[in-house]
Amino acid sequence: MVVGEMQAVDADRSGSVAGMSAGGGVALGAAVARMERDLAAYRAVLPDRAVAEDQLAELARQSAGAPAPEQLRHSLLLIASALGSVSALTAPLAVLREAVEQELNR
């Protein structure tokens, strides 16, 4: 394993997206993918799961292009509203929030 690979693994384990801002949307795409995985693994019934999944798909679409700041904020707000009280999803939600903030500050 090369040093760069180790850093990527460590960053994923820690939940931080620091150092992953190599290009537009890279950190956001990684954070969305993690949130999608963790949400899929969380099997309990969530009344607003569909809303969160729809907004994650929207963020994934935006991470591939030029995201609109207001849409990024709106999607993050809806995801946080749908999942914010689920303690098992707190870490990936924090990573997603950090990635959106990075994207907004680019």
Residues of the chain with pLDDT under 70: 1-24
Distance CA 15, CA 95 (A): 6
pLDDT in tens, 55-73: 999 999 999 888 899 999 9
Does this model's pTM top 0.85? My answer is: no
For residues 96 and 31, the answer to whether their CB atoms sit within 8 Å is: yes
Distance CA 53, CA 58 (A): 9
For residues 72 and 104, the answer to whether their CB atoms sit within 8 Å is: yes
Going from N- to C-terminal start, the domains of the chain cover: 27-104
